[in-house]
Amino acid sequence: MCDTSNILQSSAVFRTISLIPVRMFPYVALGAVSASLAIYTLHHNLPWTRLDHINDAIAIVDETLTHAKAKCTRDYLVLVEAETWFLRPSSQCLLEMHNMPGWKNYLRVMVTISRALAMLEREVRGIHTSLLVLVEAAHQRKLTEDIREDQEIGDGVLHS
């Protein structure tokens, strides 16, 4: 099915492109690609976009930590240590946002804030990875115990 709005939009784009002289087209295309890349990079590195990524990562780590607490009862100390690692970046982020300068100085330190938030996001994702490794180790340990128990049962049945 053809949508009339898509047809009109594509015809408007082609009409606009046809107005550009042939010699100028590569330069206009290069400028459009460069502008879209710059806008994407700027949008991706804005502090509020970074904060959205951090909030998503924190929610995932919190969910994984709850799951790990249920599955990894033998590794309680490691879980407590992971939870303190998790709480430190969260509280550090809140403290840094509280001490953020006013709007006049904001543009001057925006790159620094963005880099700090990127490092914080990497740290939270690292915590998530370590929790996943811990949960996987618990699964492997449980599987090994089940296999050993099944072998003992099988050996007991064969010997009797």
pLDDT of 97 over the 60 cut: no
State the pLDDT at residue 144. Answer: 92
Domain ranges of the chain: 1-43, 46-159
Instruction: Report the distance separating Cα 115 and Cα 111, nearest Å.
Output: 6
In this predicted model, what pLDDT tens digit does every residue of 7-56 receive, in sequence order?
655 676 667 766 767 677 777 778 888 888 888 887 877 777 888 888 88
Instruction: Choose between 95 and 37: higher pLDDT.
Output: 37
Q: Look up the pTM and report it.
A: 0.61
Q: CB 54: neighbour CB atoms within 10 A?
A: 21
Instruction: Report the distance separating Cα 42 and Cα 72, nearest Å.
Output: 41
In this predicted model, what pLDDT tens digit does every residue of 117-160 receive, in sequence order?
888 888 888 888 988 888 898 889 889 998 998 888 887 777 76
Instruction: Choose between 82 and 122: higher pLDDT.
Output: 122
Listed in sequence order, the residues at least 6 apart from 95 whose beta carbon sits closer than 8 Å to its beta carbon are: none
pLDDT of 94 over the 60 cut: no
State the pLDDT at residue 1. Answer: 47
pLDDT of 101 over the 60 cut: no
State the pLDDT at residue 68. Answer: 85
